[in-house]
Structure 1
């Protein structure tokens, strides 16, 4: 495994790990311990926004590492990992620029929180699939 492949696995691990840390640890702890749900929600929104940017950055690293300058693939993307990278990045963009503004404006909170949860779940699943595909034996 060369350095580009290792960097890709590291980016996928950072992406999935940060989603786990935010979604399953930090945000639940905020709501359990903050002085009010409004304070917890405000902080959670900032964490989700930061997570969207982490996901986009990791996705870019994965896409840039997928090709060499001569256009040949450095990784076996035939396994479909690139589709999951792009889908996860799309979910992050939707969460940041389509869903979050509606939540901040307090418009139909139930619907937009459900949409945000779905976008987060899509990112989590996509990052997991990418990490799984890139870290399996023989994926180089």
Structure 2
């Protein structure tokens, strides 16, 4: 089960980014009575998403190498830059961009910057998920077709 944890965590990270950013927030703006109410709720959801991203990245960093080993797993070597990049993007978006949007400071610019950073984080999460799934496919199969423990 431990070898599946990176793929599950990466799927949670990517799936939560996808759900919040591409489904829930657009629905808020489509169905809530005013853009102000939708914007306030979207800000709360994006803040919660930041903590999901931070938790997922920290778990991925913690399970990136075997116990008492110096070398990382192959999936982690390939994905490390994207884990750290996604973590940095999430934190920069939350603490660098979001306060400027809330303060209504040059909204067009900061909304664009935040959107690009969110999309880049989504891409980082997708690359990490891809590498963890490649690791899953490389595991030995037992005769019944299920992955051996």
Q: What's the TM-score once normalised by structure 2's chain length?
A: 0.87
Which runs of structure 1 show a deviation greater than 6 angstroms over 4 or more consecutive aligned residues? none
Shift of 1:28: 0.7
Matches for 1:49-60 after TM superposition, within 5 Å: 49-60=47-58
Shift of 1:68: 3.0
Q: Is the 8 A contact 1:4 1:74 kept in 2?
A: no
Matches for 1:8-47 after TM superposition, within 5 Å: 8-47=6-45
Q: Find the aligned partners of 1:48 and 1:139 in 2 and give their Cα distance.
A: 35
List gaps (5 residues or longer) in structure 1: none
Q: Is the 8 A contact 2:82 2:127 kept in 1?
A: yes
Change in 2 beyond 3 A, CA 1:78/1:36:
closer
The structure whose Rg is larger is: 2
Q: What's the TM-score once normalised by structure 1's chain length?
A: 0.92
Shift of 1:74: 5.5
Cα RMSD after superposing both structures: 1.6
Q: Find the aligned partners of 1:126 and 1:109 in 2 and give their Cα distance.
A: 25
Q: For residue 109 of structure 2, what is the aligned residue in structure 1?
A: 111
Q: Find the aligned partners of 2:35 and 2:73 in 1 and give their Cα distance.
A: 45
List gaps (5 residues or longer) in structure 2: 141-149
3-state SS of the aligned residue for 2:138? Answer: coil
